[in-house]
Every structure is written in structure tokens, then in C-alpha cells.
Amino acid sequence: MSLALSTLLFEWRRYMAAVMALALSGLLVLAMTGVFIGIGKGFTATIERSSADIIVMQPGAKSLIGGPQGVPRRFIPLVYNNRDVVEVKPLDGSGGSFQSVRNVDPTISQAERARQGAPSQEFVQALVIDTAPGSVTIPTDYSPELVDALRQPYTVAIDETALTKLGVKLGDKALYNGQTVTVVGITRGYPNMMSSTIIMSRDTLRMLGQADTGPRVGPLMVKIRNPADAERVAAELNAAGNGQWKAWTRQELADANQMAMFDEGILVIIIGGCVVLGTIIGIAITWQTLRGAIMANIKEFASLRALGVGMGSLNLIVMELSFWVGCVGVLAAIVLTMGVQALAASNAVIIALPPLLLLIVGGGLVVIAMLSGLLSLGVLKNSQPADLLR
């Protein structure tokens, strides 16, 4: 075991402030970035969790967030021309006004409505699934009971994050565009960050008079025989489309959705501000902590110099010590962030932590620790052997 690592293990209290400074800096950046990535995942969860292996969109579409995505309806039989394709369904949807029946019940007083916290009327997005067993549009985490319930006419499911806003609960009736629907399911993991979303069957959307029967449809959800061949089949579809569409594997589209969140200028400014603030705090506190710890051990360093250890070797010891402090800080940052992630998940908020983000932030924290150690090297000039005689 090296001298630097032994020093950190046996005198860990002196370096705890530096470790916590790095951990909190990492937590700030990871949590803020993870929240924004989680918001994007909330928007695209229905597709990313579907059983579709490939999604076909317009050639100019870069993600599911913003921009045109639909394709002409005539593309559906063209996609079926590939021998590996077994099912193609368009992702349909609509929107309209949603109102809890309690809000129009004349027997409920205004005060009672206010106490229940139910809004008078809300605009909602409506997404559809096909309720045939194993359909490509059914998210993989939907239970068979939920799908069975949505097979009934005029039934909807709502994510738990929208219940309070819409003023309904399981079993309640509500008005969607003036027609009565029943809440038969509560989903989890599909947070409604902005406008609320309701899920219904394609048949129910048709009965409500909102089914898309025009020449254009939404993105095409494609299921193939062997999901392991998704990249090959997507390439074949792109070649067959001759630029008329773009076929994405589900993972490619998920990655594109994550990156699309950073195309928003305000998000880049917010995250950039967090990075700058975290870097300043991390360097300042870690530098002062390391400097104080070295000063506390100045006699030990003076003893090493008296034994013939050169300043270059002492500098390496300090830099190695800084490296290990950075590594412990990274570990503490990840543990704290996962704790916050679990707390957020219990309140239906997604904090996404992709491995690349952990790698970038972890590497940044180690660099901050090394820079702090570099700034602390000047203290070693005070480690004069003659000081041991005082």
C-alpha cells in the first residue's frame, strides 16, 4: 500500500471535507443533468418501453422531441415488404379538454371542489395502444389486467403524476371533449412534466371521433421476427426507403432523444451554470482542505526530506493523495445521487443516470481533485528538516 493511500485511510477525518465537497459538486451536476434527461425520457417512455424493435419516421426527424415525425400512410405496406417484419402499427394520438365529473356535479359545493383540488378543465394529450395481445404499441411494463381494462369502450388510463392535476382517481368518470370516459388504470413511470397525458385504446379513440384516418400517420412502430437483427433490418429498410423515411432502432432513438434535450439553449445554460458553480466550489474547498491537511503533516514531510526524499517524490505523494481523494469523492457522489434518484422515484420523478454521464462527471471530479493538489504543492516548501529541531 502506498504512503498516500495509507495517509488517506488512517487520517480520513482530515480529508473528509474535501471528499464531501467533491461529492456535493458531483451531486449538483449529476442531479440537474439527470432531471433534464429524465424529463426527456418521460416524454418518450411510451415508445421506448414498447415492444417495437424499429421506429420509422420522417427522414428529417432527429428525435421524438419536437419537429415533424409522421409519415404517409402508404408507407405501411412498403415496410411490410421486408421479410423480417411481422407487425407495423402507427402511433396515433390526439388531444382535447378533460374535466372531472365532480366538477359538473351540481350537488357538490364550490368549497368542496376547491378542497378536492380538482381543476375545472384541463387540456390533455391522448395516446393510443392496440389492445390485441402482444401488440407492438403496448408498453412492455403494462400489465395484462391494464390492457384488458382498456379494451372496454370509453376507458382511459392516467399516470399517477396527473391524478391530482386532473382531479380524478381510479374508477372515476370524466368528460373528454364532452364525452364520458372512465379511469380504469393508473400507470407509473410516465411522468407528465407539462401537459397531462391519458392512454386509451385505438378503438376508443375512434369511438370518440378522433382517430387519424387521413393520408398521414404518426411514427410507425415495427416488430421484427428476431429483435437481435434490429440494426440489420433498420439498414435494409433505410436502403429500401431511398430517403423517403428513416428507420431507427429503439436504442438509437432513445440515445437521440437524450441528446435532443441539450439542443434547448436554456437547458445548456442551466447545466453549464451548475458545472461552473460545482467546479468552483469543488476546487476551492478541496484545495483549502488539502492545504490544511498537508500543513498538519508538515513535520512528517520534513522527516522524509531529512531521510533524503526529494521534493519531486513529495510532490508525487501529494498528487497521488489528491487522486485518491478524487476517487473517494466520485464514489460518494454516485452514492448520494442514487439516494436522491431513489427519493425522486418514490415521488414519480425520473432522474436518469446514463453511464456516459457518470463517466464524464466522475472524470471531472478527479481532475478537480488533481488541480486542488497541484495548487497545494507550494505548502511543501515549508517542510524544512531544520524545523524538526525547533
In DSSP notation, 22-64 reads HHHHHHHHHHHHHHHHHHHHHHHHHHHTBS-SEEEE-TT--SS
Q: How confident is the model at residue 381 (pLDDT cuts 50, 70, 90)?
A: low
Q: 114: how many CB neighbours lie within 10 A of its CB?
A: 9
Adjacent-strand bridge partners of 246 = 57
Distance CA 71, CA 73 (A): 6
pLDDT tens, position by position, 132-190: 888 998 888 899 999 999 999 999 999 888 888 888 889 899 999 989 999 999 988 78
pLDDT at 370: 85
Distance CA 347, CA 174 (A): 25
Q: Which of 195, 161, 151, 158 is nearest to 173 (CA)?
A: 158
Q: How many helices (H) and strands (E) does the chain have?
A: 13, 12
pLDDT at 345: 80
pLDDT at 322: 83
Q: Residues 121, 259: contact at Cβ < 8 Å?
A: no
Q: Residues 221, 50: contact at Cβ < 8 Å?
A: yes
Distance CA 364, CA 357 (A): 11
- pLDDT of 321 above 70: yes
Listed range (1-15, 22-36, 338-352) with the worst mean pLDDT: 1-15
189 by Cβ neighbours in 10 Å (0-12 / 13-18 / 19+) ranks as middle
When pLDDT is averaged across residues 62-83 and rounded to a whole number, the result is 82
Q: 5: how many CB neighbours lie within 10 A of its CB?
A: 14
Q: Which of 124, 200, 137, 130 is nearest to 163 (CA)?
A: 124
- pLDDT of 290 above 80: no
pLDDT at 118: 47
pLDDT at 305: 66
- pLDDT of 27 above 50: yes
Distance CA 130, CA 117 (A): 33
Q: Which residue has the higher pLDDT, 268 or 84?
A: 84
Q: Which of 281, 222, 270 is nearest to 249 (CA)?
A: 222
When pLDDT is averaged across residues 228-237 and rounded to a whole number, the result is 92
Listed range (15-19, 100-104, 187-191, 384-388) with the worst mean pLDDT: 384-388
Q: What is the mean pLDDT of the chain?
A: 81
Q: Would you call 254 helix, strand, or coil by DSSP?
A: helix
pLDDT at 307: 66
pLDDT at 1: 61
Q: Which residue has the higher pLDDT, 374 or 108?
A: 374
Listed range (76-80, 111-115, 201-205, 291-295) with the worst mean pLDDT: 111-115
When pLDDT is averaged across residues 73-102 and rounded to a whole number, the result is 88
- pLDDT of 306 above 60: yes
